[in-house]
Every structure is written in structure tokens, then in C-alpha cells.
Structure 1
């Protein structure tokens, strides 16, 4: 970095004044270069000194903005062209923070600028020596981003240009802790002007359109025009000497009475926005996709951890067709579940392929949702029955007998009690002894009775109740239970009960 000459040095050429100021205002005689490399943008390697407060730091910011020593386009071909009002506005926001730990999202929200623009101006403040990293922020995938911790600095060019004398009070302390002890007489007037600017409230820069309009209006006024442009419009008043002297009373038009409230003034009731519903902005097509994607990631287990934009792209067809989260979950239930999912977005793309064409009406989607809810209710009741059976079997005071013959008698007794509670279907039946079960049992049932037993067992199984078939299996054995209720029903009941006892299987979840 080049050295900086004092203000009174005769060999230095004065720098150009910033836009909107006279040529002799804030002119500082220094060498035409002010730039700090990346290696010097850390607090431990910085050549500047720490600003004592935000007011003193804003003095340095206004000095850099008015000196014209820093040209961003000399080091890059993109970004802002100069250290202007927007950079000063960002610096004003930073001067209010204690500690100076601004996040990019916070600065975007405070300044109204884009994320890229905020990053550009932070880089400009570092390259001019006004900011230095104490801790640099991190952005790790899958973790929350950490904001950078900055230290407000005053570059050595600022001290040299104004003749500020500094001293290091503690010789063991770093050089950036030196404090100002005085100022040369030549820099007092400039320091006073910088103090007024630092105390002034910095407003948000206007848009390019309004700036161009103001520049054109000022140019017309300089050429001798009779109208003075004031921020997008002319102020017609006889109080100013430069105002338009022509009267506009002949062209005055009053608003119609339909637009006036009682008393001759306009109604102050705010109009409701057409694009908002219930105080919220109505979602567009892309917003609907992202909404459905976020809800699916939250409710579907094998979609946890997937990217919302990717799931939104996969579910774009059903989202555009007006599907809701409940309808998508019902469709996934109808398609079945996978035991092992390696890539959730790929499986979702396969399951949703052509869904909006198959279930193409709201009535079909409503019927699909009702079927899904019925299956959920059946699974819930099945879980309740299993919990009750497990509690009766393992958590009661009664211990099951170890003899197989006694177990069959107990199961038969329990079955009769259940049947009597359900309506007394078998209350008149006489329990046969153990040695008479084989010849006098189910082999003597007629085909009509077996058919009725099977229909009743299938109806209970469809509602989630497997007590009847389980009692037959435990009391009579699987071969006789298959002869009464059929091999298929007995096989399904045994699969369901064996899966319910496993810790690797849960019922009623998507």
C-alpha cells in the first residue's frame, strides 16, 4: 500500500470531490490510491487502528467517500463503480451495531438491498481499511450459517491526511490499539465538516429511475428552465424566487364527489389488496409447489432431509393440478409402502407419475382421501386391540399355564366369554373334553356353518379385529383353524400378529 502524504504536502495532487459537492469541498491532498489486500483485511494484520466509537468511524467513512481515492473497478470488472451513498448507508447501519456482527440476511432486511449488493459493499469497506475481520463467518452444508464478526477500523491514510497524532499507550498491546492524541491545525476544519456529516442521518438511496429524473430536472434548471424538479415533481409556490411564476389555477380540476367522504376530504379507509387473502399474499404456481413440498417433507418419514426445491420439482404436476398434502398422502398410501428407501425424491417421482391423470377430478380425490382415512382408523383400532391383548397377557396378575392342554381350555373359555359379550352367539354351546375335540369339533360342522364362520371372520379382519381367528389358532391349532376359516385368512392373521410383535414394524404410519 502506498504511503499517504499530509494535507499540507505541496507535491500531492488534490483528489476529485464526490458527486453533488463542490470541487474545493472535502478535497484532500493524498496519493491517488486506497486499497487493502485480502491478507491485510484481518484485525491481526491490519495497519489501521480501531475506531473508538461509531461516530468517529463514520467520520472516516465520509472521508473515504469524499476523497475519491478508492476505485472498485480498478480491481474487478463487476460490482459498484464507486464508494458512494449506498456504501455510506450500509456503513451507517453497521455503526449502530454493538458488537458489529451483522448477518447478510439482517443487512438485506434493514437496507432493502439484494444479498449480492450487500456483499459487494462489505467487500468495499474491507478493501478501504474501514472494516477488518475478527472472526470470519462460515457456511457449512446442513448447519446454520454463522455471521462474521467485524471490527470498525480507521485506515492510516485517514490519520496522515488530517494530521492526526496517535500513540500506543501500552507497548505490549497490538498496533491497532493506538489512540488519537491530537490533530494538526490544517485538518481541524475538515474534521469539523466530517463530524457534521457523521452526525447527519443517512437516508436510503433512491432508485435509479428517481435519480435519473432528479438529474434531468436539475440539468434543465441549470439551463435556465422555469420549473425546478423536486424529487419527481415540481413545487409550485410564490415563496421561492426560482419557482414558476405562471399560475396553474385555470387547469385545476377537483375530484368528483363520489371520491370524497363526508366533510369534503378523501376517505382514509385503506383499500384491500386484490392479491392478498386473509392478510397474506396469494401464492403463485411456484409458491404452491414449494408449499406442498415442505408439507410432504414434514409428514413423510422417508422424505426427511430431502431438498425442498427438488421435492417441489418432483411434485410440480400434482401441485399444479390443485392437489393438497392430504390428497398426496392418500395417493402414496394407495400405491403402497417400500421397506427400504435409498433416495426419497426418486421414489416419490415414481409413485407420483401419472397421478394427476388417473385421479383427475375432485370427487375421485375426495373418495381416495376417505378410503385412506378409513384405513388409518382400522389400523388405529388394530393397535388398540394389540395393546389390550398384550396388557392382558403380560401385564396382569394372572400367569398363563405351561401345559398345552390347559392353555387350550383357557383359550376356549376366553373365546366363549368374548362371544357372550358380543351377543351370546355361543353361550349355549357345551365345551367338549380334550379327548373329544378331534372327532366332535370342527369336523362335524356343515358347509353352511363353515361359510358363515369365514364370512364373520373376514368382516372382523377387515375392521382390524383378529381375535376370532387367533382364538381358533391358539385353541384348536393351525390345521383345524385353516379348515374352518381358510388357509389364506389364517396366513394373513399370523403375518399381522407376528409383525406387530416386532420392533422393526409400526402400524398406521406413512
Structure 2
């Protein structure tokens, strides 16, 4: 029984001997609500209309001593304590009563397991009832439970509270209060004063100095003996100490002075080291913890293991986890072994692939070599994917590409040859006609050739290759090289290829 709720226990009114007294208060049996009756539809209590009246019932349960959970189960709380009352006060502030476990953990600074113990105590005393139970589905968002604040029927019986169901069609938990016995009025007033006060978060009890001194003396192998107030520590007083400690007093070495660390920090480091923690204060994982850590990492990084149970994957990978493998090394081993195209059961496939893996790669050097091969294969695959995407984009987003059929290639080559022969015949006819008419051929001098090249150079500087391309298509590549030179022709081809690429955006002005 807690110190907060102890005064309420002695305020339970004793039963009157008169049988015909309607205001008599009965002695109550043990307070316990089974799990099947912890729902609103099956609860025997009545719903509290507001938090004040509900906190009156909470303080009464805390001080009554009727809740003895150890008679029904071996785990959980031993009694209804001050922390349970503080959590009930937090629940009284919520409307609707829809608390999250993380919220209660943050307000109380307790672990999830302890918070669930206190919520179970409130349900087992009839103070809380489920409206809807929260869900904890892996891969989905967790939903909190919604509770109804209830006043147990034992509270009404103990204080002589009379209730009535105003609507016969309404459920029983909607009963309303119509009066109270004279014997319970004083206790109700005291419970009201308790309910109106706000409790602070209970602090954990620190061990007394005498216990710490005794434990330290026991650890040193010396029996701890309490010294009375009248005894002295010096021989002058004639106390129980027979020898002076002045002869064994020594100053601390200079290495201990001005170290920059306080005694508290040094004590914390020593405690963390004794508890198996590292310099960061985090507890080191044991074999089971390493298995679960590896299983969790594999379910996150391996695509065909997503959605699998972490405990099952930890059990499958227990051999490699005990051998000190990391998730990266397991991925490298899976790359060397290869996987199936269609996976029906991820844990079964993983068990087959990891068979005898710890014996094949039995040294860190072998595992590092496997990781290097895996990373090299990943880089090669990445480059291959980039080239494939680039080729696809250039193929489907370019201006025009040669067909892949060899028959079409041959037809195109024959058609181009016919066009070239026809154009040469027309040019030869024009030359013959000009010679027959006495017209001399026009020769391009060096100045005009330089002007043409300057115009082509200016066009290339702005990204325009029209002049060179027209010359190539009209007169052929040999004549274009003679007029513009190989350098300008090569630059024009580079600009055209660069413009057709899907990985670049290039535009030129008029």
C-alpha cells in the first residue's frame, strides 16, 4: 500500500449492526475484474461522467487495499501504488481517453512494460474498460486503445451510493447517482479533496547511505558495524576504535589531480564498465541481440525478405551471426550463391543459401574479399544500366536511326547508289551543254573559299551546322572536306551527335 493512498484505507466505514438501516455500508470482498469483463459492454461498473468523480474512485481503490494481484498472477504490480494514481491522473485529463503508450512513457519516464503493468492494474480494479483495443500489426501504423473511465460497483457499495437506470433500454453502465449514505459522506468529501490536488511524478526511491556503506563494506570483505552517537573516532574519546587511521592516510597522486573529470563522471564510467557498457553508455549486445540485429537488417535490405518475421530470420541466420558476420557480408555471400527468380518463402530460401556459409568464409579476410567482389559487381551492373538507359533514350528520342534489318540496309544502299549515279549524269550533261555553248566553268578563288569557311565557322560557334550538312548531302563528303576541311566537318558531326543525345539540352539562335 502506498503512502499517498494509506490515509484512505483507514477511512473505510465499519458496517452497522442494524439490519433495517438503509444507509448501512457493507464490508467488501477482494477487488478483481477478470480479463473477459474488462470491456465496456461486459463491465459491471458505471461510466464516470468527468475526471473529478473518477479520481475519487481511483483514490478510494488506492487506499482500500482490496486489490491483491499476486493471488491471481505472479507477474506485474504487487499493489496499487502512487505511480498508478499518477497515470490515472494523466488519463483523467484526456477526453476522449485515447492515450498512446509513447505518451505515457514520456510523461512518466517509465518503460513500456511498466506502463502496461499500471494500465492492467487500472483495468483489473474496474477503473478502466476497453472501448476498442489497439492494434500492433507489423508494417502498419500502431493504433492506441480507447478506454472508458469507469467507477467500480464496489465503490458504490462501500460508500452507500445509490444509482438508478433512467432509461430501461440503455446499457447498465449508464446508471446515474441519486444519493449517498450518511456514513459515506465524510469519506466522499476527503476523497474529493484528494481528487482536486494534482500529483507530481513519483521519484524512484534512492537507497539509504547506511545501506550503501554496508554494501561497500561487504564488497571490500570488511564487516560493516554501525557507530553509535556517543562513540568517537579518535583515541582521545576512548571509543570503540582501537587504532588511529592517521598512520595510513596518504595524499592522492598527482596523476589523479586536475584530470578534468569529476568524481561523478568517473563513477558513472566505472558503473557502465561494470554493467558491460561501452564508452557511449549503451549496453553491448549479447549473442541473442546480435542475431535479432542481423535479422532486422536483412529484412530491411534484402528485397525478398521484406515482410518476414524478424525472430524467424534471426533464428535462420544464427550461425553466421554467432560467427560475427555483418549484414553486408551476408549480402555478399548471397550474391556469390545467387537467388531464385521467384521466391515463395523467404526464410526457407535464406536457410538454404546460408547453409555451411560460416565454414566456407571462415575468416574476416575471405569475407572482405567477397564483399569487394560484390561491390565490384554492383558497380558494373550500375554502369551497364546507365549505358542501357542512355542507348534506349538515344534510340527512341533521336531524329533518325538506321534500321536493324539487313534486307532494308541493302535496299537503302542500292537506292542511294542509283541517286548518286543519276545526279552525276545530270551534272555531266550540264557540263557538256556548257562546253558546247562556249561557257567556261566557274572556278572558286581563295578569297571566296575563305569566306565560305568563315561562314561555316561562325555557324558552328552558334551551333548551326546547316551549311556544312547541306554541302555534304548535296556535293558529297569528299567535296565538303575539300571546301571546309576535316576539322570543321568533324566538329559539325560532334555537334549533331551531341544535339541528338537525350542526356543533354542544346539550342542555338538564328
Distance 2:304 2:70 in 1: 50
Aligned partner of 1:201 among 199, 202, 207: 199
Match of 2:64 in 1: 67
Match of 1:246 in 2: 230
Aligned partner of 1:43 among 20, 23, 40: 40
Is residue 84 of structure 1 aligned with residue 114 of structure 2? no
Aligned partner of 1:28 among 9, 13, 38: 13
Deviation per CA, 1:254-278: give whole Å up to 9, x if none: 995459867xx96454554442244
**Does the 8 Å contact 1:260/1:266 carry over to 2?**
no
Distance 1:261 1:187 in 2: 66
**Does the 8 Å contact 1:71/1:81 carry over to 2?**
no
**Does the 8 Å contact 2:8/2:63 carry over to 1?**
no
- After the TM superposition, which parts of structure 1 deviate over 6 Å for at least 4 consecutive aligned residues? 16-20, 165-175, 229-234, 251-255, 259-262, 408-411
Distance 2:361 2:302 in 1: 21
**Does the 8 Å contact 1:58/1:92 carry over to 2?**
yes
Distance 2:161 2:250 in 1: 62
Look up the SS of the partner of 1:186 in the other structure. helix
Shift of 1:400: 3.3
Could you say if the C-alpha distance between residues 177 and 283 of structure 1 is closer, same or farther in structure 2, counting changes exceeding 3 Å? same
**Does the 8 Å contact 1:18/1:68 carry over to 2?**
no
TM-score, scaled relative to structure 2: 0.57
Shift of 1:26: 1.7
Match of 1:365 in 2: 367
**Does the 8 Å contact 1:166/1:182 carry over to 2?**
yes
Deviation per CA, 1:54-84: give whole Å up to 9, x if none: 443232122123334455466x354569643
Aligned partner of 1:150 among 147, 152, 158: 147
Write the mapping of 1:435-446 to structure 2, written as runs, cut at 5 A. none
Write the mapping of 1:288-299 to structure 2, written as runs, cut at 5 A. 288-299=290-301
Look up the SS of the partner of 1:134 in the other structure. strand
**Does the 8 Å contact 1:166/1:179 carry over to 2?**
yes
Worse overlay, 280-289 or 194-203:
194-203
Distance 1:197 1:247 in 2: 46
**Does the 8 Å contact 2:77/2:121 carry over to 1?**
no
**Does the 8 Å contact 2:101/2:112 carry over to 1?**
no
Distance 2:210 2:53 in 1: 33
Structure 1 residue runs of 5 or longer lacking an equivalent are 1-15, 215-228, 235-242, 412-510
**Does the 8 Å contact 1:17/1:24 carry over to 2?**
no
Could you say if the C-alpha distance between residues 354 and 394 of structure 1 is closer, same or farther in structure 2, counting changes exceeding 3 Å? same
Distance 1:332 1:67 in 2: 63
Deviation per CA, 1:400-435: give whole Å up to 9, x if none: 348634537999xxxxxxxxxxxxxxxxxxxxxxxx
Match of 1:341 in 2: 343
**Does the 8 Å contact 1:50/1:151 carry over to 2?**
yes
Structure 2 residue runs of 5 or longer lacking an equivalent are 15-25, 215-226, 235-240, 414-510
Match of 1:323 in 2: 325
**Does the 8 Å contact 2:130/2:148 carry over to 1?**
yes
Could you say if the C-alpha distance between residues 247 and 36 of structure 1 is closer, same or farther in structure 2, counting changes exceeding 3 Å? same
Could you say if the C-alpha distance between residues 387 and 366 of structure 1 is closer, same or farther in structure 2, counting changes exceeding 3 Å? same
Shift of 1:398: 0.5
Shift of 1:357: 2.0
Computing the radius of gyration over CA atoms, which structure comes out larger, 1 or 2?
Answer: 2
Look up the SS of the partner of 1:28 in the other structure. coil
Is residue 387 of structure 1 aligned with residue 384 of structure 2? no
Look up the SS of the partner of 2:344 in the other structure. coil
**Does the 8 Å contact 2:5/2:59 carry over to 1?**
no
TM-score, scaled relative to structure 1: 0.57
Write the mapping of 1:371-410 to structure 2, written as runs, cut at 5 A. 371-401=373-403, 404-407=406-409
Once superposed, what is the RMSD of the aligned Cα atoms?
4.6
**Does the 8 Å contact 1:167/1:179 carry over to 2?**
yes
Distance 1:286 1:79 in 2: 23
Distance 2:313 2:363 in 1: 23
Match of 2:91 in 1: 94
Shift of 1:346: 1.9
Aligned length: 366
Match of 2:429 in 1: none
Greater share of residues in helix: 2
Is residue 131 of structure 1 aligned with residue 128 of structure 2? yes
Look up the SS of the partner of 1:390 in the other structure. helix
Look up the SS of the partner of 1:397 in the other structure. coil
